[in-house]
Each structure stands twice: as C-alpha cells, then as structure tokens.
Structure 1
Amino acid sequence: MRKLILLAGAAAGVLVAPSLAAAQDKNETTGLAEIVVTATKRSANLQSVPVAVTAITGETIQNQRINEFGDLTRAAASLTLTQSTASPNNAIILRGIGTYAFSIGVEPSVAVIIDDVPVVQQAQAFDNLSDVERIEVLRGPQGTLFGKNASAGAINIVTRDPSVVFSGHASATVTTDRGYKADGSISGPISDATGYRLGVYYNHWDGNVRNLANGHRLNDNTSYGVRGKLRSELTDKLVLSLNGSYAKSKSDGTAATLRSIDLNYIPAGATTAVIPRYNGVSILPALAGIKPGADNRKTRVDNDGFTENKQASFSGKLTYDLGFASLISVTSYQDWKYNFSADVDGTDLAVNGTAPNVTSPIAPGVGVSNSGPYHSTSFTQEVRLTSKGEGPLSYVLGAFYADAKTTRDFQRGPALILAKWTGWQSTRSVAAFAGVDYKFPTNTTISGAVRVNNERIEDSFVNLLSTATVYVSPTNIGTCGAGSQLCAGSNEDTATTWKLSVNQELAPRISVYASAATGYKGYAYDISSGYTPLRTQNPVQPEKSKSYETGLKSRFLDNRLQLNVAAFYTDYDNFQAQSSQYINGALQQKLNNVGKLRTKGVEVEAQAMPVEWLRLDASAAYTDAKVVSFPNAACYPGQAQTGVGCAPSTNPVGLGNVQDRSNTQLPNSPKMKINLGGTVTRDLTSDLKGVFTVNYQYQSKVNFDLLGNPLAEQKAYGLVNASASIERGDVKATVFVNNLFNEHFVTGIGDGFGSYGVHYVTQVLSRDSDRYFGFKVDTKF
C-alpha cells in the first residue's frame, strides 16, 4: 500500500514539475473539454472540486456504449456490482464497500440520485440509462450533502434538459445475441419562456440460459420507459422545472447455472461419497444434459420464474434568483413496484413428497418456489440556498425531508421450508446541512460541510403460517403470529456527519487536496424470513465511518493531458451486512453488524488528447478492503462438516460452529481494477467521418462470499470491447463487438451445500459474460 502511494506521488511529481512553467491560463480551449459537475450541490469545474469523482460525459456514454447501470464499471475503476437473479438482492460497491441484504429495512451504502432525487430502493438503479447528460461517481462518504445512505459514496445521474431550439435524436440497435433496442427524444421551445423534452426507449434481449426442461430461454429482459421534462421561466427571476418518468422492466425467466458439483464428497467419518439429494430425492436426473463449468448456459427447472419492475416518479424544481444567491426547492414523489417468482430447489423433480404441486400464486411446478411483491413509495422535499458569483466565499445551506414506506409479501412452499409473511417498514428523515468554501489570496481553499439528520424508523411483521404463535410470556415471545404486539416497533436517532478539506492550487489547473469526513447509516430492521420479536427489540446498530483522503488534480501540456490521483483510508464500525448465522441451532441468513472494516487504496485517472483526433482514457484502482474484526463468523456451507477452520462456539447462547474472519478481504472487492480506452476520430472523405474505439477492462480475483467459501471465487479476467463508426451528416452507423475474446465471468456465486449435502456451486451470468456483435444506427436533427 505504502509503495503504491509513493509510486503514485512520484509519477505525479514527474508529470507536474515540467508543467508548472508551461501551464496554460484557464481560458484555454484546445484539447480536453471542461467538465462541470454538481458533486458539492453547486456547479463547479471537475478539476476544482476537492472530491474524488469520476465524471462520465454524454460523449463517453455514447462511445463506450454505457446503456445500462451495470455498464458503469467500464468507466469507473472503483465501482463493482454484485448481481443476482432478483434485482433487490443486487449490490453497488464503491472502494470495496456496498450493502447486500434481503431486508427491506436497510438502506444501501451507496446512494443513487437521479436529477436531484435519491431513489428509494437500490434496485431502482438497475435500469436503462437513456437520454443522460452526465453521470458522476463520487467515491468515499458523501453523507453531508447527499444524505445518510451515502456512507460509501454516491452516483449522481443527470438527464438532459430541454433545448432552446427544436432538436431530437433516434437510434436503433440489433445484436447477434438476440437483442434489439430503440430510443429517441425530441426537445424544443413551446414559447419564448418554456421548453420541453420527451424521451422514450424500448429494449429487449432473449437471455443467455436455456431451460432444458421446457426449451425456454431464461435471464431475458424486456424494458421500456418514457421521461418528460418541462422548463419554464415564470418571471425573469423564477424558473420552474418539471420532470416525470415511467419505466417497466420484466424478465420471463430467471436462473443461475451450475458452475461445479462435488460428486466425490465424503464427509468426515464416512466411507462413501454423498449422493446429492433434495428432501431425500436424488437430484442426479436433473443434471442430464448439463456440463458444469464457467461456460455452462443450461439448467433444468420446473419453474422458469420471473421478475417485474415498475417505477414512476415525478419531481418539481423551483429556482429563484435572489441576486447574491439562488433559492432552490426540489419536491419529488416516487412509486416502485416489484414482483418475482423463483425456483428454490433448482430442479425439475417432484421433491415435495406427497404434497400437491405448486400452484398460483407462487408458480406452477412440482418443486419448491419463492414469490412475493414489494411496493415502495417516497416523498422528498429539499430546499437549499446556493451562492452565486466568483467571490472568495461560496456556500450552500439546505434542509431535507423524506418519508419512505415499503411493504413486502413473501411466501415459499408448498410443503418444504415453508414461509408466508407480510412486512412493512417506514423511514422519516429530517435533516439540515451546510457547505462552505473560502478561497484565500494564496489560492488556498478551505472547505467544510456538516449535516444533522434525525431519523425515525418503524416496522411491522406478521407471520401468516398456521403454525405461527403470538406472545405468551417473557420467556416465550412467539414468532410474530397475527396480533402479536411485539412485532411492530419504532426507533429514533439523531446523528451529525461532517467533512473538512483543504485545496491548494499550485499553478493554473494544478492543485492538491486533503480531506477528512465521517459517514453514517442509521438503525435498520431485519425484515425477512425468520423474523421474531427480538428483531424489533434489537434493530441492527448504525453503521459509522471515518475517511481520510488526499489527492492531486491536474491539467497540463497545453490542456491536452489530465491526471487525477487519490489516496484514501476509511474505517467502518458496525458495518451492516447480510450473512449466515446460527440461530437456535440452524444456519439462517440474517442482517447483522459484521464489525470493523477498513478500506484503503490509490486511484488514478488520466485522459489525454495528444492530437485533436485521438483521445486516450485510463483509470486504475488499487483497493485493499478488509474485515478487520469478525471473530464469531459462521462457517460457510460445508466447512463445519470438514472442521477445517471451524470450531465450536464459546458464546454462552451457542452459535454453532464458527470461524474467525478477521483480516479477510470483503466480498466482490478486487484489489486491482484497470480500465483503458482509446478513441480515434478521422475525416475519411470530405463528408465522411470515422470513429474507432477500443476499451479494455481488467479486474483481479474476488470471492463473493463474506464467509470465505473458496468455491465462490472468480478468477482475474480482462474484457475487450471495440467499435467502428461512420458518420455522414446527421447519420451515424456503428458496428461493435462486446467481450471480443469471449472471456466468461460471473457477477454472483452461491453454494447449495445446505440443500443438497454436497458442494453445488451456482453462478449468475451477466449478458457481458459472452461475446456478441451488434449494429447501431443513430440520427439527430
């Protein structure tokens, strides 16, 4: 770690030294374009903001084909994603930190903001990115200005505003993996004071997994959406902006495929290999025609499963020019609905014994299935006062209110591992925040920000199984049957977060900065299967962080080279995570406080335009994200049977077999990620222009299991994407290839040892894990 920091500093010094004399004034227009961001709730040049932020412009989005949220990993080296067959279980990870949890009562550690509005559930972010102006990936705690659910970072998405003249664009894409997409927008004036923008998209993909039981393709997706914007200058000082959107995404089949199975597993004390079974039924017939491996794209299940997302949002923004400052009000309302069904046993076999087959509303089939809808609503109101002008003092003062509610119904059955419950959670937040910058004559800028947040959470849980019990006595508090007063509760707390930084300009366009910040994510209820009154009485403790960062931001060589470097060190206490725990002698998934985490590393981002027709992009992140203290972690599935690394718990309540996971790497946190890209733009003839782009993305090995199952490891891999375009006038045609060398990788790994008695390792496969070619036509007017 120390060597990497020294190396980055030395490299920066070598590059900066010759530029001090040659640095250009701030009006230089050749070379790289200036980028304006709102990372501090105020519009500012990317290079002047003392924040580690990756700004992805509309040009980059187009050249690198960033069409969906998952594509952002191509441009942000510190960003990784963990994905499952159900989007609420996905996780956005920055600098190794992210939240993976089943509970509706926990917020993510990485906030996603779309046009000034934070999304309610992180799953809402996994959607198409259409008609986007800019995306800002802010790394490290951002809670002082963006709220309590930004303890690890924030992703700020800004969509395009109405144009002052009539304009529009349309595009159509077709791919060799049975995908096609169309999107477009129109914009222009309604009157001298009012403008509009309307964008639509439709996207379909057939999927990458074949269900041998019925021939259907799984992991498919069909999505469509519409967004409208209206901007009106009500007076010469008052501007109203309205923003409304609706989107729907559906998959008619979901599946993880078999990565490996241990058919030679012999438990300690046994002499013969275990035959994998589910409820006593051998699953070997369900493996017919399936060859386990990283390239396996086949499964055999009786229930295809499905997922469906629907979301609608509306926001209004009023901006009043006070002369010395702008008074801004942002009001929003969101409604998100999600439903799913999933095959639990992973086979097409009748595993329920004499019980009847599964029927609606779970899913038709002969096995075990999950299902259940979510519904979230959110109202937010933010008011802020933002300074104007070029004086030494700039500031933002604000207040924020949010009221979010989420309900979830869940059932599993029909005969095994039964579950049927309904849960409800609400969060009311009230906050005041402020950020101040002051620039001294020495070109030294001191910045400070603070946020005081009061939060009240409430929960309710009802177990609808016939065997559920209610309160009986203090020693037998039941399992949250209907009427139990102990399964509904509330909790309130107030927390303060802050950030301090100093930025020193060494020369025009060259500065160094250092900052310290705190992060906070409040109490949470673990609203999921296995809920008891104890969860209401003991909500998961708040997650807190302290972060230190230093960096360099620079442009030199006639504004043709940009180099930004950041080194960071962050401690987390009471990190909230989903993991296995022994509860009453049984291993269950539970939201809990893992303990202490630490993430540290170095990030380097560079852009160069040595000549007007060539642009080079490079970013790299070294991240050492570790669990510092986790002494009583449960053993991973199968580890307790071998005894390797496991020991009986000494805890007086009895935790089963446990292991010490202290000083281990966090899940899906690669130590090294590298993104490289090049774009060549040349005039081919007097009216033809060619654009050629190549991108390379590398990441080191990761393990997807917090408990360290070695079978959950994804080895290091690298991906190459390329495209070639010809542009004539307002029409552009592009051919492209994704994953040129067909490098197979996964976005999630699970082990079904607890279900089958042997290591049965499954994998979640993204679309990008296979090579495909495509053709796209764009037109604008």
Structure 2
Amino acid sequence: MTHKFILLAGLSGLALSQPVRAQEVAAPAETAEAAAPAAGIEEIVVTAQKREQNLQSVPAAVTALSSEAIANARLSDFSDLTRAAPALTITQTTTSPNNSIILRGIGTFAFSIGVEPSVAVIIDDMPVVQQAQAFDNLADLQRIEVLKGPQGTLFGKNSSAGVVNIVTKDPSRDFEGSLNVTAATDGDVRTEAAVSVPLSDGVGLRVTGFYHDFPGNVRNLTSGRKLNDQENYGLRAKLRAELGSNLTFTLTGAYGKAVQDGAATTIRSISGTGTPRVFGSPALALLPSLTGITPGDENYNARVDTAGATRNETASIAGKFNLDLGFANLISVTAYQDWKFNFETDFDGTDLNVLGGLTGGALNGGLVQSGPYHSTNFTQELRLVSGGRSALKYVVGAFYSNAKTSRAFQRGPVVAAADWSARNSSESLGLFAQVDYTLPTNTTVSGGIRYNHEKIGVSFDNNLASATANTCLAGNPLCRGTNSDSVVTFKASISQELARQIMLYGSVSRGYKGYAYDITSGFNPARIDASLNGTGPGLLGVGPVRPETSTSWEAGLKSRFADNRIQLNVIGFLTDYNDFQAQSAILVGNPPAPQFVLNNVGKLRTKGVEVELTAKPTDWLRIDGGASYTDAIMRSFPAAQGYAGQTGQVWNGTASALVGPCVAAAPATAASPRTTCAFQDRSGARLPNSPKLKWNIGATAEFGLGGDVKGTAILTYQHQSSVNFDLLGNPLLVQEGYGVVNGSLGVEFGKVRVTAFVNNLFDKHYAASLTDGYGVLGGSASNDAHVVYQFQTRDSQRYAGIKLGVKF
C-alpha cells in the first residue's frame, strides 16, 4: 500500500521575506493584547487581511475556528464546516465538481470547466483551481477562517462572495506527535497521525497522514452493494528551516486520493399525471422496477444497473520564503498543484434495459455518462507587509496565476448523445495594496485597491459523427478562442475603538469574477465570438459570459467584556451583484426553445444580519452560538426558463392567479386550469439553497474526575430554515427546515483521550440536493411525471462512534 503515501517535493522560486509565523509569533503591535488575558476566552490570530491580526481587531466578517474548536466539533470533512459557520451552506451531489460552496446565499453551480466559483478556497496561501479540490479530509489543521463578502482586493478575482482560508500546522520546535482513530456504527473508520521532528537547530519537519474508509449509505437493491462509499488517504509533509537570523523557508508537499466505487441518488417522491417512462418508451415504465423502494426522505435504497464511480487525486507543492527587512516583512509563496478527476454515472438512474427498449433489442444495458478532468495551476505571490507598532500599516504585493483545465465527456449512445473534449486556460496578474492608519482617537482608516489583468482561452472538439462546423466539428478553428480583460477592485473601511476590546466598523468593497466560456455540451462558435451566430441548435450570439461584479456594504460591532468572558459580534451586510454567472436559459433555434447554458441572469441582492456569541461564565463551561439571517433574492431575472413541466396560471375558483409568474401565459379558466410555461419572471425570488435563517448553539463542559483525569461533555444543535434547490423555483425541490442534535462525552487521562459521540441524535433525514427527473422520465403533456431524486449525506442519518486520541 506504499502507493497511498506519496510525498511531492521541489523548490519554490527564490524570493525574500520575513518569518510571519501564523501560529508561533503574533504581529508585534498585537502581541501584548493577544497574550494579556490569562483567563476567559482565548485570542485567535488570523491572516484575513494578508497579515497577522487579532480576530477581534479585523474590520470584517470572519468566522475563525482554532485547532481545538475543529477537534471538539469533529470537523473531519470540508462539508462539516456548515455546522460551525451559519453563513455557509453547501450543495452536494454524487460528484464533487458539481458541488457548490455558498456564502450569504451566493455560490456558483455550473457544469462548465471555464467558470470559477464565487467562493475561493485557499490552503496555506495556495488557491485551489477547482472548487472540487476543497472536498477533502481536514487533517492536522491550525485553524480555518471563513471570510464573508467580496474579498477580491487581497485574495483575487475568484472571491466575489467570500473565502475559506485553511491553515495547516507548522513544525514545532520540540518533538511531538499524535494518533487519532475513529470507528462508527455505520462502518466509518478514520485514522489520522502526525509527527513533528526537530532535525537540527532551527530546522523542523512535520508529517501528517490520514486514511478514511466509509462503506456507503445507500443500498443498490439490484446488486446488493452499498453506494456512496468512499476511501480517502493522503500524506502531507512540511519542512521549516531558519536559514539565518532573519530568513525562514517553508516547503510543503501534499498528496491525496479519494476513491468511490458507487455513487447514486435515491427517489424522494413521484408525482404528476401518467406513468414515469424512460424517454416516453412504453417498454420502459419505471414503477414496476421499484420493488423494495418506498419513496420518501427516509429512502436509502436505489435500483441502478451502473453503480457509478469517481476518482479524485490531488498533488501540490509550495515553497515560502520569509525575510525580515526590519521595517517590513517580504514574503514569497510559490506553488504548483495538479488535480485529476474521473467519473461514471448512470444517466437514466434505473436498472431497466434502456438500450434494449429504445433499440428493440439491438443493444442492451443502460445509458451512461463519464469523462475525466485534469487541472494544473502555478501561482506566485510576493508581498511586503509592514512591521512594528507604527500607526501606519500596509500590505503591498503582486500575484500571478497560470491555470489549465481539460475535460472529456461521453454520454449515450442512443439518446442525449455527447462525445467531446475541451480545454480551458486562465492566466492572470494582480497588483494589490492596502494601507491602514490609526489616528490618536483610536480611529483606524483603511483603504485597499487591486488591479487584475486576465487572459482566458478555450478549445472545443465535438467528436460525434453528426458534428458539423456549427457544432464544433473536431479541429474547427472557430472553436478556439481567447479573451482578455482588466479590472480595478477596492475596499475601504473605518473602525472606531469605543473602549478596550469594543470596536465599531463600517466598510464598502467591490468584488469581481472575470469572463468565462460556457464549456458544456452544445458548445458552438458563437460562444466564443458573438458575430458567429448561426441557425443550428444552441447558436446564440453571446460570446464569453460577461464578468460578475459585486458591491458590498457592511457594518459591525466586535466586542469582549465581563472580564474577557463574553464575546459578542454583530454584523449587518448588503451586497448587490450584477451579471451573476449561473446556469439559466436562453432562446435557441427557430422557433425559439429554451436550453440550459451559462448566462448572466441579472441583478441579485443579499442582505442580512449575522451574530456570533461566545461565553465562558466559568472556567469549566463554554457556550458558543451563531446565527445568520440572509435575504438573498434575484432582483431582476425577467426571462428565466420555466422549471421542468411548469404550468402557468392556476384557476382559484374566482380569478386567475399567477404561479411563477409566467411570461405571456394564457389566462386560466375553470375548464382549462393551467397553461404550460416556457419562460417565467423570477425577479424577486430567492436564490437556491439559501436558508433565510440558520443558527447553531453549543455547550462545552469540562470537569475533573479525580487525580489527573478530566472529562468533557459537548452538546450542539444546528438548525436551518427551508430552501429550494432549484434556480428556477421548482416547488417539488424544496427541503423543509430541520435541526440536528450532536453530542459527545470524553475522558482524558494523561496524553490519552477517549471520546464517545453520537451524530444526528434524533435521526432527522434531509437532502443535500434535490433534482427533478422530468427530462428523462416525464417530459410531455401526456406523461407529466415528476420523479424527484435526493442526495443524502452520511450525516442525514444517526450514527454513534468512539474516537481514541493519543499524544506523545
């Protein structure tokens, strides 16, 4: 099994900087404050503004989790963060590239490899090129920072809604190690080990390895196997060397792989008129094949003939030089990452002999879709960070990125056939600066600006025998293109210290996400050059999708009082988005018909209030709570496509009432109560998977059990209001509000800790995403059948377990 533990190594580009040890040395101006409290709530030092600061002095909305908080909350996977950060939600599917990270109601869900997410993920100063890379094991972390709102000034163009900043542990000055083993009643087994070794004076090495095996939570009744299984393993090594009295170098290499041998959704509901049939074929009725399946939110059974599989492999290397110049710190970070992903899924979602039914027996089996991804990214950042206790502080820097992604896709072979390959490139250069000045009145004024230039490229080859020049026949030069763009973004804030550890602030910031090519099935020359509009299917003169911009206003109170035993942060925000990039509808063909493509869907607004409370009334009891009220709406989306099988106006007995409302829908009557709706006006509707209210509360009690034996009891509750998973508002795709209770009881004696835990104590079932199979199993007025599929995560069921931790 040695292939499971591969460490990549190499050298970064040479540059100069000062040691900015995120966990070892606080910024000089804040050391005294951070170290002063001997009791009460601990201080957390973050790098939310590219320099070390006390979390409470940052004039921005940041949720920060220390290594202890991560361990106590059992945050093992990226999706677990939703339990600790109320403003964060995640839409999960059977394949990680189709997952979506959402902050304050804003996230990116699109099949195109040319679209960057609105929420950036940064791991040790290295931005991941594909959001799917984030869905990995969270092992041996120092802290996690969730930065809410546009962060483009310091973190770049792909952070128009926020940033999740992940910081791993550095080597320690003394030898230390840890081993954690977890086993649960649902068959889940996790092992994580870390060891830090001082190699010589000023040189240390930290090595972390993890292994995770989960048998799955969905039973395939056709084969008897479980689906949604996962096997993860990986290794990370970090070498830190003090090359002189003022120069430090850190080299980090990491490798991880996730293997899944079966992926599937389950049926939540079947509704509508007629019998669900695969593409309307009389020989392919769904219902007789559902023996043993009872649709509902408690359904964890499926019937598919192709189990599906995924392979996710990531390797990265990063080098960081730090030089103390006396007046400032000069920091260089050079990184390279390589990500490979491959998948196969059952397109029809049944175990029926679909090919036989559609071809009269000439072929046998089901419809399958599959294809590999491959992304690489080279990044180089150089920044100058002021030091000392001066009232003037600054960060000045430059950032370069060169990312390339390729993808192949096959589907079919009888209907909905696709066979294409595509490549996308993005090369960008950013120059940024931020200056803070503190007046004698304890008023701090901050201003930041960023210039970003980007060039994107695309090539697309349609390999189907039916391909033409207008549908990107392989080698067509009109299906290769480039586009460039330059933009300036900014951020400004003012904060006032009212008393020690009590601060008011206000800020305004501008976010940006650049041009994007819609690289999906149906790609054509017009998606590169608007002047190449044609008459074939999918041709509309749009060119690359326009940039997405955001302007955010924020005001907040950050406070600590009661002898440092209560921390209360209250933040209000309002953010407007123009030309939001999402999958929506355009008019295609003659006569025009709707088709899903990447498009600018109009104006959005997200506004709300966030509250975070931490209280430590006694040394043995800690209470943590958070709440997020978010009103995320589409202010202008007047020509959205009608959702699957949408009807227009409904007769209510006395007058017609709009449902949608539909655009140009014929009035309803008692004799004709509904009208099919091709397009609708979604202006004023809520964004998908954006709960209006999400909150959590938890209590941690520590108590003595005699001698050096200590006990810890933790009880938490998380709740969110209802959401609709559909951008177009399909009422069948609503997940009602729900709450989940988790608890644990631990005993620590010496360097050994044993913890018993239970997840989802009351076994509350919920979906992480919902989809309507209308296009495959319904799709006509005579067969208006809706089969709703749900993706259920492991945490949607109750399980218990034991965790054994040893430190040495």
TM more than 0.5: yes
Q: Secondary structure at the match of 2:690?
A: coil
Matched AA of 2:562: L
Change (3 A) 1:295 1:642: farther
Q: 2:728 aligns with which of 707, 711, 721?
A: 707
Instruction: Give the conservation status (yes or no) of the 8 Å contact 1:55–1:137.
Output: yes
Instruction: Give the conservation status (yes or no) of the 8 Å contact 1:25–1:508.
Output: no
Instruction: Give the conservation status (yes or no) of the 8 Å contact 2:511–2:549.
Output: yes
Instruction: Give the conservation status (yes or no) of the 8 Å contact 1:306–1:342.
Output: yes
The one-character-per-residue Cα deviations of 1:564-603 (angstroms, maximum 9, x if unpaired) are 1100000000000123445335543311111000000000
Instruction: Give the conservation status (yes or no) of the 8 Å contact 2:748–2:754.
Output: yes
Quote the residue 2:699 is aligned against. 678
Instruction: Give the conservation status (yes or no) of the 8 Å contact 2:642–2:678.
Output: yes
| Deviation of the 1:536 alpha carbon | 1.1
1:384 lines up with 2:383 in the alignment: yes
Matched AA of 2:786: H
Instruction: Give the conservation status (yes or no) of the 8 Å contact 1:26–1:509.
Output: no
Aligned-residue identity in percent:
55
Q: 1:559 aligns with which of 564, 570, 585?
A: 564
- Name the CA distance, whole Å, in 2 between partners of 1:66 and 1:494: 39
Quote the residue 1:63 is aligned against. 72
| Deviation of the 1:660 alpha carbon | 0.3
Quote the residue 1:490 is aligned against. 482
Q: Secondary structure at the match of 1:141?
A: coil
1:218 lines up with 2:245 in the alignment: no
- Name the CA distance, whole Å, in 2 between partners of 1:396 and 1:640: 55
- Name the CA distance, whole Å, in 1 between partners of 2:699 and 2:663: 55
Quote the residue 2:313 is aligned against. 310
Q: 2:799 aligns with which of 740, 747, 772?
A: 772
- Name the CA distance, whole Å, in 1 between partners of 2:124 and 2:65: 15
Quote the residue 1:11 is aligned against. none
Q: Secondary structure at the match of 2:299?
A: coil
Change (3 A) 1:348 1:579: same
Q: Secondary structure at the match of 2:70?
A: helix
Q: Secondary structure at the match of 1:288?
A: coil
Matched AA of 1:619: G
1:722 lines up with 2:743 in the alignment: yes
Q: 1:320 aligns with which of 320, 323, 326?
A: 323
1:512 lines up with 2:504 in the alignment: yes
Quote the residue 2:84 is aligned against. 75
Matched AA of 2:229: D
| Deviation of the 1:648 alpha carbon | 6.1
Change (3 A) 1:347 1:641: farther
- Name the CA distance, whole Å, in 2 between partners of 1:433 and 1:25: 28
Instruction: Give the conservation status (yes or no) of the 8 Å contact 1:352–1:416.
Output: no
| Deviation of the 1:753 alpha carbon | 1.1
- Name the CA distance, whole Å, in 2 between partners of 1:331 and 1:489: 29
1:345 lines up with 2:372 in the alignment: no
Q: Secondary structure at the match of 1:742?
A: coil
Quote the residue 1:618 is aligned against. 625
Matched AA of 1:564: N
Q: How does 1:561-710 map to 2 (within 5 A)?
A: 561-584=566-589, 585-640=592-647, 644-645=659-660, 647=662, 657-710=678-731
- Name the CA distance, whole Å, in 1 between partners of 2:209 and 2:364: 37
- Name the CA distance, whole Å, in 1 between partners of 2:276 and 2:358: 23
Instruction: Give the conservation status (yes or no) of the 8 Å contact 2:648–2:662.
Output: no
| Deviation of the 1:83 alpha carbon | 0.6
Q: Secondary structure at the match of 1:124?
A: helix
Quote the residue 2:517 is aligned against. 525
Q: Secondary structure at the match of 1:282?
A: coil
Quote the residue 1:31 is aligned against. 40
Quote the residue 1:473 is aligned against. none
Change (3 A) 1:378 1:203: same
The one-character-per-residue Cα deviations of 1:198-242 (angstroms, maximum 9, x if unpaired) are 000000111110011100100011000100000001111111100
- Name the CA distance, whole Å, in 2 between partners of 1:587 and 1:751: 17
The one-character-per-residue Cα deviations of 1:181-213 (angstroms, maximum 9, x if unpaired) are 001100021000211100000001111100111
- Name the CA distance, whole Å, in 2 between partners of 1:337 and 1:84: 18
Change (3 A) 1:25 1:100: closer
Quote the residue 1:753 is aligned against. 774
Change (3 A) 1:65 1:564: same
| Deviation of the 1:398 alpha carbon | 0.1
Quote the residue 2:277 is aligned against. 276
Instruction: Give the conservation status (yes or no) of the 8 Å contact 2:574–2:606.
Output: yes
- Name the CA distance, whole Å, in 2 between partners of 1:487 and 1:679: 58
Change (3 A) 1:507 1:357: farther
Instruction: Give the conservation status (yes or no) of the 8 Å contact 1:141–1:519.
Output: yes
Instruction: Give the conservation status (yes or no) of the 8 Å contact 1:356–1:414.
Output: no
Q: 1:50 aligns with which of 59, 62, 65?
A: 59
Change (3 A) 1:93 1:358: farther
Q: 2:752 aligns with which of 716, 723, 731?
A: 731
The one-character-per-residue Cα deviations of 1:426-474 (angstroms, maximum 9, x if unpaired) are 000001000111001100000111110000000010000000011xxxx
Instruction: Spell out structure 1 runs of 4+ moving beyond 4 A.
Output: 354-359, 640-644, 646-650
Instruction: Give the conservation status (yes or no) of the 8 Å contact 2:275–2:287.
Output: no
Instruction: Give the conservation status (yes or no) of the 8 Å contact 2:648–2:660.
Output: no
Matched AA of 2:641: A
| Deviation of the 1:276 alpha carbon | 3.3
Instruction: Give the conservation status (yes or no) of the 8 Å contact 2:646–2:677.
Output: no
- Name the CA distance, whole Å, in 2 between partners of 1:455 and 1:371: 31
Matched AA of 1:164: R
Q: How does 1:253-268 map to 2 (within 5 A)?
A: 253-262=262-271, 265-266=272-273
Quote the residue 1:192 is aligned against. 201
- Name the CA distance, whole Å, in 1 between partners of 2:555 and 2:41: 24
TM-score (ref. length: structure 2) = 0.89
Change (3 A) 1:497 1:623: same
Q: How does 1:383-402 map to 2 (within 5 A)?
A: 383-402=382-401
Q: Secondary structure at the match of 1:379?
A: strand
- Name the CA distance, whole Å, in 1 between partners of 2:80 and 2:288: 38
- Name the CA distance, whole Å, in 1 between partners of 2:649 and 2:182: 52
Matched AA of 1:632: A
- Name the CA distance, whole Å, in 2 between partners of 1:292 and 1:53: 41
Q: Secondary structure at the match of 1:190?
A: strand
Matched AA of 1:735: A
Q: Secondary structure at the match of 1:278?
A: helix
- Name the CA distance, whole Å, in 1 between partners of 2:714 and 2:34: 31
Instruction: Give the conservation status (yes or no) of the 8 Å contact 2:275–2:285.
Output: no
- Name the CA distance, whole Å, in 2 between partners of 1:454 and 1:59: 40
The one-character-per-residue Cα deviations of 1:123-152 (angstroms, maximum 9, x if unpaired) are 000111000000000000000000100000
Q: Secondary structure at the match of 2:353?
A: coil
| Deviation of the 1:27 alpha carbon | 2.2
| Deviation of the 1:647 alpha carbon | 4.6
Q: How does 1:142-541 map to 2 (within 5 A)?
A: 142-262=151-271, 265-266=272-273, 273-280=274-281, 281-353=284-356, 366-470=365-469, 478-537=470-529, 538-541=543-546
- Name the CA distance, whole Å, in 2 between partners of 1:630 and 1:780: 56
Instruction: Give the conservation status (yes or no) of the 8 Å contact 1:430–1:453.
Output: yes
1:122 lines up with 2:131 in the alignment: yes
Q: Which moved more, 1:571-580 or 1:764-773?
A: 571-580
- Name the CA distance, whole Å, in 2 between partners of 1:340 and 1:357: 29
Matched AA of 2:744: S
Instruction: Give the conservation status (yes or no) of the 8 Å contact 2:661–2:682.
Output: no
Change (3 A) 1:297 1:206: same
Quote the residue 2:532 is aligned against. none
Change (3 A) 1:556 1:715: same
- Name the CA distance, whole Å, in 2 between partners of 1:746 and 1:587: 28
Q: Secondary structure at the match of 1:215?
A: coil
Instruction: Give the conservation status (yes or no) of the 8 Å contact 1:395–1:437.
Output: yes
Change (3 A) 1:356 1:684: farther
- Name the CA distance, whole Å, in 2 between partners of 1:529 and 1:567: 41
1:100 lines up with 2:109 in the alignment: yes
Change (3 A) 1:384 1:740: same
Instruction: Give the conservation status (yes or no) of the 8 Å contact 1:632–1:649.
Output: no
Q: Secondary structure at the match of 1:372?
A: strand
